[in-house]
Structure 1
Amino acid sequence: MDDRSGGRNDDVVDHPRRDMMVEESCTLIQRSSSPHYESRSGGALSACVGGDGGSLIRHAFNLDQQRFESMGALEILRETIRILRQDSTRFLAIAAVLLCPVSAVILSHAFVSRSLVRRLSLQLLLVVQLSGLPSGLFLKDSCLRVSEMILSAIFCSPLFMTLSVLAKAAIFYSVACAYAGTELSIAKLVAAAAKIWRRLALIYLWISLVILTVVALFVVLLTTACNTFMIFGAPADLIKYAALALTVVFFVAFAHTIIICNLATVVSVLENSSGPQTLLRSLFLIKEQRQVGLLIFLGSTAGLAFVEGLFEYRVKTLSYGDGTSRIWEGPLLVIMYSFLLLIDSMMSAVFYFTCRSSCLETMGGISQEASPKFSGLAPAQ
């Protein structure tokens, strides 16, 4: 291990022209690949399985010595399905025990008061109208949806900080187990996730703060821009187009923010990192794979939104028949939503390995020791 560590240090010294940011990031990668670092990052897992938990992550990265080529969104989806088929019982059990309750609450908005939703949506609509935007059915519906999302995130945060983060941690550990060829029971995986719950809760709070900041910044910019156009006597159509342009920019920035936050969750589980440095770490890892992450985000968001729409109009809103179909359609849609959450979390884990391998490959010689191969993996002996 000393020889390999020395080789990695030589690789870094051989590039004196790299700027300070790249050198620090390279040092961070070397630390995360070292046994000392991984033994700390796998400490929770080690306590549960009675061995070196860091070896699980180390095996996942050292299974193949060949240079790794970055995977696209479809390749990541295929790899996710391959891992799911390889150990379907484990992943489906995690989804049934931890994700199904979360899905049921998200779809039904069980903890959200309809009166509070209407009150908040009216306040948002008033703010939008004061900014100069013309009110319409689309704007009213958008305010209603945003109000539901805000209140759901507030009232369901205890559920998200317990079942949701534990489910993600167990899924990320399971993907690492699949690459390392390690067999661990579901109970041990959940116990390992519970050991690092405080770190997961901390990154959840930081992610919530980042998302809230991005949304608040968009509202301030939108209101300021519309009021500025109104002061200079701009026509209503120009204000509408300016607001539309700002909205498009916001959605692009919001999508990138969600991608970075999802990757930060994986980093907080598989590496010894927490708090703001986790977000910085994920920001560095994703810089070569932004387009792939955006495609994954769009696919996952479209699938989840489709199931939410079905639940809204076929279960919550009685639009046909006598309503008896709710008995089987409701649970079916909850299962579908849980399965999509499972696939999304698994793809995030595979995407993490892809980003890390791509980052190491960009750095140079380090990648020959730390790059995993995602197809045809043989179990570790």
Structure 2
Amino acid sequence: MDMEQEELQFLGFFGICKEAIVITFRHSKIFIKLTLTLILPLSIIFLAHDGFSTFLSQKIITNEDTLDTTQLGTPAFNDKSNKISYELTALWLIKLVYLLISLVFSLLSTSAVVYTVACIYTAKDISYKKVMSIVPKVWMKVMVTFLWSLGIIFTYNLISGITLITLLILFWNNKHNDISSTGLVTILIVFVLYLIGFVYTSVIWQLACVISVMENSYGIQAMVKSKTLIKGKIGISFAIFLVFFLCFLGIEHTFERAEVINKASIGIGVLCLVGLTLFFLFGLIIQTIFYFVCKSYHHQNIDKSSLADHLETYRGEYVPLTANNLEMEQFKV
């Protein structure tokens, strides 16, 4: 990045996207290799899971409809029932394998791209071989942060779900078998607040993954630092999340509508694959640049030599990092 650190704080959403495009094209060779190795397989896994899950779900629904009209205890009924059980087992196995493999590739992709952008920022010599040798060590910290984030999001969803169900019970009118107007408005407000809180938590988690690579903190410490960093930049962080979330939904919806497995709409499938791959790549680069923007906004100058030394620690054996590996300096505006 050619911009001075003091100038990064003034980058808005489009400025961050532009900077991400510039970095990608200037260092296209290494990003292409990382994309083909890590991000493309992640995209293939996602679309394959989405396609097969949709295909099996439709078959299960069709078979269940047929089962409803089949006489109980007949050979046809037993055959169809066994077929549904087999398809349900296959569906859950596919989902389990997908979750495990996608988690590994997602964390590896995050570690690789964030580490690469950090090396570009410090003007360090970077190569594909070097990144791939370091990624497994960086991945360990990102995984700890992810697990903490997963636990926090699960707890948040659980509490929110219980709250919404409680409100539904309290405002349910048994006499008219519906919800009162006051109750409906209250539940709607709580649900909107839940969505805002969910996006906020997701934004903190994404930035915490970047912090886990850039600094000595990971896990809950990275989450706390992330929460502090996004203050003053919440609007941009929400914009990044929502734009990419909508793009993600658009790609997924297009792929499902194309019914690639049933109709062999290979062209649309390939376009969705390319779009999703670019989406993952630019999302990670933008999130990393956003980290530098937040640092600049809070007047925390990252000393490039200290950051370079911190990145070099990944080349040795993985050991607990100390607070002296990365020094934060204050600069005057």
Same fold at TM > 0.5: yes
User: Hey, what does 2:245 align to over in structure 1?
Assistant: 301
CA shift for structure 1 position 154: 5.5
8 A Cα contact 1:211 1:257, kept in partner: yes
User: Hey, what does 2:205 align to over in structure 1?
Assistant: 261
Percent of aligned pairs with the same amino acid: 25
Alignment map for 1:359-370 (pairs within 5 Å)? 359-360=298-299, 366-368=329-331
1:99 and 2:43 aligned: no
The unaligned stretches of length 5 or more in structure 2 are: 62-91, 302-327
Aligned residue type for 2:282: I
So what's the TM-score if we normalise by structure 1?
Answer: 0.64
CA shift for structure 1 position 283: 0.8
Q: The residue matched to 1:260 in structure 2 has which SS?
A: helix
User: Hey, what does 2:288 align to over in structure 1?
Assistant: 349
User: Hey, what does 1:75 align to over in structure 2?
Assistant: 15
- Cα distance in 2 between the residues matched to 1:187 and 1:73: 32
Match 1:209 to one of 140, 151, 170: 151
8 A Cα contact 1:266 1:349, kept in partner: yes
User: Hey, what does 1:249 align to over in structure 2?
Assistant: 193
Could you say if the C-alpha distance between residues 317 and 350 of structure 1 is closer, same or farther in structure 2, counting changes exceeding 3 Å?
Answer: same
8 A Cα contact 2:260 2:266, kept in partner: no
Match 1:159 to one of 101, 120, 131: 101
Q: The residue matched to 2:144 in structure 1 has which SS?
A: helix
Q: The residue matched to 1:109 in structure 2 has which SS?
A: helix
User: Hey, what does 1:90 align to over in structure 2?
Assistant: 30
Match 2:160 to one of 193, 218, 226: 218
Could you say if the C-alpha distance between residues 117 and 327 of structure 1 is closer, same or farther in structure 2, counting changes exceeding 3 Å?
Answer: closer
CA shift for structure 1 position 117: 12
- Cα distance in 2 between the residues matched to 1:193 and 1:342: 16
- Cα distance in 2 between the residues matched to 1:205 and 1:295: 25
Alignment map for 1:115-264 (pairs within 5 Å)? 155-230=97-172, 235-236=178-179, 238=181, 239-264=183-208
Q: The residue matched to 2:10 in structure 1 has which SS?
A: coil
- Cα distance in 2 between the residues matched to 1:350 and 1:84: 12
The unaligned stretches of length 5 or more in structure 1 are: 1-59, 120-149, 372-381
8 A Cα contact 1:170 1:189, kept in partner: yes
CA shift for structure 1 position 278: 1.0
8 A Cα contact 1:67 1:361, kept in partner: no
CA shift for structure 1 position 197: 2.5
- Cα distance in 1 between the residues matched to 2:268 and 2:37: 20
User: Hey, what does 1:335 align to over in structure 2?
Assistant: 274
User: Hey, what does 1:32 align to over in structure 2?
Assistant: none
8 A Cα contact 1:67 1:367, kept in partner: no
CA RMSD of aligned residues (A): 3.2
User: Hey, what does 1:358 align to over in structure 2?
Assistant: 297
So what's the TM-score if we normalise by structure 2?
Answer: 0.72
CA shift for structure 1 position 277: 0.8
8 A Cα contact 2:146 2:219, kept in partner: no
Describe the superposition over 1:59-99 as per-residue Cα deviations: whole angstroms up to 9, x where unpaired: x89x8475653321111111111111111122122122111
Aligned residue type for 1:108: A
Q: The residue matched to 2:155 in structure 1 has which SS?
A: helix
More deviation in 179-188 or 307-316?
179-188
Could you say if the C-alpha distance between residues 244 and 151 of structure 1 is closer, same or farther in structure 2, counting changes exceeding 3 Å?
Answer: farther
8 A Cα contact 2:120 2:126, kept in partner: no
Could you say if the C-alpha distance between residues 240 and 295 of structure 1 is closer, same or farther in structure 2, counting changes exceeding 3 Å?
Answer: same
User: Hey, what does 1:34 align to over in structure 2?
Assistant: none
Could you say if the C-alpha distance between residues 291 and 198 of structure 1 is closer, same or farther in structure 2, counting changes exceeding 3 Å?
Answer: same
Describe the superposition over 1:272-293 as per-residue Cα deviations: whole angstroms up to 9, x where unpaired: 1122111111111111211110
Could you say if the C-alpha distance between residues 154 and 311 of structure 1 is closer, same or farther in structure 2, counting changes exceeding 3 Å?
Answer: same
Describe the superposition over 1:240-291 as per-residue Cα deviations: whole angstroms up to 9, x where unpaired: 4433322211111111111000000000111111221111111111112111
Number of matched pairs: 273
Could you say if the C-alpha distance between residues 349 and 245 of structure 1 is closer, same or farther in structure 2, counting changes exceeding 3 Å?
Answer: same
Could you say if the C-alpha distance between residues 309 and 165 of structure 1 is closer, same or farther in structure 2, counting changes exceeding 3 Å?
Answer: same
- Cα distance in 1 between the residues matched to 2:6 and 2:160: 44
Q: The residue matched to 2:125 in structure 1 has which SS?
A: coil
